[in-house]
């Protein structure tokens, strides 16, 4: 096949005029610069905020192709929220350092814990999500997802002092609600019972009340499912119904042990 025909066939199938892959790259750069601005002692806050403002203006022009999209005036309001977001993130880091015996310092949490990076990116993207900014909050979440293996939709509502340990494989859906002092381990899913476009504007994901611990690979599904405060959900548990407060839920597998020497 002649090269001209190949080029024409590819170009004919590029049907989305607003599909600009640079949006993803610019969002990832924006996310990392936000992280440095908030946490890195050597990074000049004033200079970085000015740069971030210019970066955001570029992003806003790229993603707000729909008439009337709320983009141009978001940045000035968002900047005012950053101290409050940072305060929440410091509580998250302290919760991780307090609860994980493997943590040697709070600095170690900020620098090396994938769960903290995922939570930080969630909190930074969540406020932009609330403004209705297109694409950027989701791409910020996907930046953290690709780095940490943790998928937190920016629409989720998460309280103070949140702790994700090990992080890999955690999924938290868009309408999930997590209250204060919740601990989650690797592989936990807070998901929907079914995937259906007609449920778009309905609560599809569970509510986790305060002081709940959810151990590895537990799956909790459904918008009406509530895990009561102070409960412990054991590893590999599958839940589609609510659990009252102060509960302990466990999964008991059948284990058969045979000595290899016995025949």
| pLDDT range class, residue 1, cuts 50, 70, 90 | low
- When comparing pLDDT for 64 and 111, which is higher? 111
Q: Does residue 261 carry a pLDDT above 90? A: no
**Percentages of the chain per state (helix, strand, coil), in multiples of 5:** 45, 10, 45
Element (H, E) at 131: none
Model confidence over 211-237: pLDDT tens digits?
Answer: 999 999 999 999 999 999 999 999 999
| pLDDT range class, residue 246, cuts 50, 70, 90 | very high
Task: Give the orientation angle of helix 22-39 with respect to helix 74-99, to 10 degrees.
Answer: 60
| pLDDT range class, residue 200, cuts 50, 70, 90 | confident
Q: How far apart are CA 89 and CA 164, in angstroms?
A: 13
Quote the pTM value.
0.92
- Starting from the edge strand earliest in sequence, which strands make up the sheet with 226-227, in order? 157-158, 177-178, 207-208, 226-227
Q: Which of 193, 164, 167 is nearest to 181 (CA)?
A: 164
Residues with Cβ within 8 Å of 207's Cβ and at least 6 positions away in sequence, in order, are 176, 177, 178, 179, 225, 226, 227
Rg of the chain in Å (alpha carbons): 22
Residue 246 sits at the vertex; the CA angle it makes with 245 and 249, to the nearest 5 degrees, is 100
Q: Does residue 33 carry a pLDDT above 60? A: yes
DSSP-derived 3-state class of residue 182: coil
Proportion of the chain above pLDDT 90, given as a percent: 84
Q: How far apart are CA 149 and CA 245, in angstroms?
A: 30
pLDDT score at 185: 98
pLDDT score at 171: 98
List residues bridging with 171 in a β-sheet: 151, 189
Least confident interval from 12-26, 67-81, 122-136, 185-199:
67-81
For residues 174-190, average pLDDT: 98
Q: Does residue 28 carry a pLDDT above 60? A: yes
Q: How far apart are CA 93 and CA 87, in angstroms?
A: 10
Can you read off the two tokens belonging to residue 238?
């599958």
Cβ proximity of 226 and 177 under 8 Å: no
Residues with Cβ within 8 Å of 15's Cβ and at least 6 positions away in sequence, in order, are none
pLDDT score at 197: 82
For the chain, the average pLDDT equals 93
Model confidence over 64-89: pLDDT tens digits?
Answer: 877 766 676 899 999 999 999 999 99
| pLDDT range class, residue 110, cuts 50, 70, 90 | very high
Q: How far apart are CA 249 and CA 184, in angstroms?
A: 14
pLDDT score at 46: 96
For residues 157-173, average pLDDT: 97
């Amino acid at each position: 096949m002649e090269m001209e025909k190949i080029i024409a066939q590819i170009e004919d199938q590029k049907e989305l005029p607003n599909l600009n892959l640079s949006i993803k790259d610019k969002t990832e750069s924006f996310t990392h610069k936000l992280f440095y601005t908030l946490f890195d002692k050597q990074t000049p806050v004033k200079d970085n905020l000015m740069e971030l403002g210019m970066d955001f203006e570029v992003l806003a022009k790229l993603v707000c192709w729909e008439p009337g999209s709320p983009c141009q005036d978001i940045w000035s309001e968002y900047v005012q929220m950053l101290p409050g977001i940072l305060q929440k993130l410091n509580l998250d880091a302290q919760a991780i350092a307090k609860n994980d015996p493997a943590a040697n310092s709070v600095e170690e949490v900020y620098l090396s814990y994938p769960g903290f990076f995922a939570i930080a990116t969630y909190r930074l993207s969540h406020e932009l999500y609330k403004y209705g900014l297109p694409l950027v909050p989701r791409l910020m979440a996907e930046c953290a997802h690709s780095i940490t293996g943790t998928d937190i939709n920016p629409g989720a509502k998460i309280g103070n002092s949140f702790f994700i340990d090990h992080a890999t494989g955690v999924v938290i859906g868009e309408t999930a609600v997590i209250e204060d002092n919740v601990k989650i381990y690797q592989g936990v899913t807070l998901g929907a019972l079914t995937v259906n476009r007609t449920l778009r504007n309905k609560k599809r994901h569970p509510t986790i009340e305060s002081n709940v611990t959810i151990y590895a690979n537990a799956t909790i599904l459904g918008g009406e499912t509530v895990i009561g405060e102070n409960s412990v959900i054991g590893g590999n548990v599958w839940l589609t119904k609510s659990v009252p407060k102060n509960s302990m839920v466990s999964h008991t597998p059948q284990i058969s042990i045979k000595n290899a020497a016995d025949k």
